[in-house]
Homo-oligomer: A and B are copies of this chain.
Amino acid sequence: MRTDERMDERKKQVLAAIVQDYILTGEPVGSRTITRRYNLGVSAATIRNEMADLEEMGLLEQPYTSAGRVPSDYGYRYYVDCLMAPERLTREEVEYVYQRYNQKMLEIEQVLEETARLVSEMTAYTAVAMGPNQDHAVLEQVQIVPVQATNKALLVAITSTGIVEHRIFTISDNITPEDLARISQVLNTNLQGIALEAMQRAVLKDIYREITEHRSLVKLITDLLQQILVLEGNEKVYLDGIINILSQPEFKDWDKVKEILAFFEREDSLRRIFNASPGGGLAIRIGQENKEEGIDKCSVVTISYAVEGKIIGKVGLLGPTRMHYPRVISVLQCVADSLSRSLQQFYR
Residue numbers of A with Cβ under 8 A of B are: 106-107, 140-141, 143, 145, 147-150, 152, 154, 156, 158, 162, 164, 166-169, 188, 192, 242-243, 246-247, 252, 254, 257-258, 261-262, 265, 346, 348
Contact = CB atoms under 8 A, between A and B. Distances in A.
Contact of A147 (B106, B107, B158): B158
A298 to B, nearest CB: 17
A138 to B, nearest CB: 13
B106 A168 contact: yes
A288 to B, nearest CB: 24
Contacts of A257: 246
B168 A346 contact: yes
A140 B247 CA distance: 47
Contacts of A188: 148
Contacts of A192: 148
The count of identical subunits is: 2
A197 B57 CA distance: 69
Nearest to A148: B141
Contacts of A164: 154, 166, 168
Given A254-B252, A258-B246, A261-B242, A156 B148 contact: no
14 contacts: A106-B167, A106-B169, A143-B145, A145-B156, A156-B156, A156-B166, A164-B168, A242-B261, A243-B258, A243-B262, A243-B265, A246-B254, A246-B261, A247-B258
Contacts of A262: 243
Consensus secondary structure, chain A interface: mixed
A265 B160 CA distance: 32
Contacts of A148: 140-141, 188, 192
A324 to B, nearest CB: 21
Contacts of A156: 145, 154, 156, 166
B167 A166 contact: no
A158 B167 contact: no
A167 to B, nearest CB: 6
A236 to B, nearest CB: 12
A158 B149 contact: no
Given A156-B156, A246-B261, 5 more contacts: A148-B192, A154-B158, A243-B261, A243-B265, A252-B254
